[in-house]
Amino acid sequence: MFTLAVLACTLGGLAVGSFLNVVIYRVPSGRSIVAPGSTCPSCATPISPQDNIPVLSWIVLRGRCRHCRAPISARYPAVELLTAVLFALTAVRLGATWSLPAELAFVAGLIALAAVDFERYLLPRAILYPTLVLVGAGLLLAAGATGRWTRLGVAGVCGAGAFAVFLAIHLARPRWLGFGDVRLAGLLGLGLGWMGPWYLFIGFMVANLLGAGVGIGLMAAGRASRSTPLPYGVFLGAGSIVALLAADPIIHWYSQTLVR
């Protein structure tokens, strides 16, 4: 059952990654993710199903359009691979449990949000709200099936708490933190809060360490100044996924080595 779940999540991750590419490419410009079907951005020729197989088609076509030979960004197979790997790791971490679908939706939403934030400094509501609904519905299902309503309550409180803290920072220093990050904090609170409040804490810690590390690195390389904006959503997404997958070993290591 465990092996089956991991395998299904890996293959499902490739397909979901392919869908996320459409979301990342179309949602910020307000276009439909359903119609029309995918076309080559260069010559607008519709992409046939056999040229639309995640990762494989890109390799077979050597990263070029079959018709006009225009290069196709490596971002597409990269997002598909990343989604497949993170889905597989989430399945390994959670096993075939009732909360697996909710956390997979959480991971998928974070990948799309982080990618759009990275490219455009935007966290679109059109991605965030559907993710919130899917994660919420998934957790409701998990609580109903397992009777763990307290855990759902903790997740709700974590979501509301993270939203409130970020809202306070946003109101005090609007230039530090956009309102998109405030909404995102609510989603992180819900998705990580279900695992436990410590997950949320570790997620924010890792996000801020990553952000500080990248900021200092860019400044040292002369590629950024103190006022260069960084897409905080990317770090929040990455930190949350690290927490989801690795908070348990981190907490264990901490309690073993530092707290005596």
Residues of this chain, 30-49, that bind Zn ion according to CB under 5 A: 40, 42-43
Provide the 3-class DSSP secondary structure of residue 210. Answer: helix
* Cβ proximity to Zn ion, 65 vs 115, nearer residue: 65
Q: Which of 24, 65, 142, 241 binds Zn ion (CB under 5 A)?
A: 65
Q: Where are the beta strands (DSSP E) in the chain?
A: none
Specify which residues 64 forms β-bridges with.
Answer: 71
Q: Counting contacts by CB under 5 A, is residue 61 touching Zn ion?
A: no
Q: Are 28 and 127 in contact (CB under 8 A)?
A: no
Contact stretch for Zn ion (CB under 5 A) within 19-27, 65-73, 81-89, 204-212: 65-73
154 lies in the site for Zn ion, by CB under 5 A: no
The verdict on 126 binding Zn ion (CB under 5 A) reads no
> Which residues, 6 or more positions from 28, have their beta carbon under 8 angstroms from its beta carbon?
116, 119, 120, 122, 124
User: Which segment (62-70, 101-109, 142-150, 156-164) binds Zn ion by CB under 5 A?
Assistant: 62-70
- Closest to Zn ion by CB, 46 vs 213, is 46
Measured CA angle at 102 (ends 99, 104), to 5 deg:
105
Q: Which is nearer to Zn ion, 71 or 229 (CB)?
A: 71
Does position 68 interact with Zn ion (CB under 5 A)? The reply is: yes
Q: Which of 86, 113, 111 is nearest to 100 (CA)?
A: 86
Tell me the site size for Zn ion, rule CB under 5 A.
7
- Which amino acid, 143? A
Minimum distance of Zn ion from residue 50's CB (angstroms): 15
What's the closest the beta carbon of residue 240 comes to Zn ion, in angstroms?
36
- Closer Cβ to Zn ion, 7 or 60, answer by number: 60
Give the separation between CA 193 and CA 199, rounded to whole angstroms.
Answer: 7
Residues 6+ apart with CB under 8 A from 35: none
Q: Which is nearer to Zn ion, 42 or 52 (CB)?
A: 42
- Closest to Zn ion by CB, 26 vs 66, is 66
Cis before 36? omega within 30: yes
Distance of alpha carbon 55 from alpha carbon 91, whole angstroms: 21
Residues 194-233 that bind Zn ion (CB under 5 A): none
Residue 41 or 144: which CB sits closer to Zn ion?
41
The size of the chain, in residues, is 260
Tell me which residues touch Zn ion (CB under 5 A).
40, 42-43, 65, 67-68, 70
